Amino acid sequence: MANHASAEKRIRRNARRATINGVRRNRIRTFIKNVELAIVGGDAEKAQVALQAAQPEMQRGVAKGLFHKKTVSRKISRFSTRIKSLKLK
């Protein structure tokens, strides 16, 4: 239990930030899932559009400190490779 006003304020602020970050993380995961579903469905054009929509959201997650930049970079790279392989088929 917090004994100082500043510690109590920090607890309240952390709770608010956790809620906001959870919403952001969930939104990004939804965008990623949409790309995955398009790739699994075999539709290269739909997957490309989904990736173009997901990229800024993922990068915003990096800017906000939700994800590590190399994690997002790796995911985008792997999605791009998978979409390119769909276009070749």
pLDDT digits 0-9 by tens, 12-55: 999 999 999 999 999 999 999 999 999 999 999 999 999 999 99
Dihedral through CA 68, CA 73, CA 75, CA 81, nearest 10? -170
Provide the token pair at 68.
Answer: 């590590």
Count helices and strands (H / E) in the chain. Answer: 3, 0
- What is the rounded distance in angstroms from the CA atom of residue 34 to the CA atom of residue 86? 16
Whose CA is closest to 57, among 35, 16, 13, 24? 24
Entry pTM: 0.87
Domains of the chain listed by start with CATH number: 5-88 (1.20.58.110)
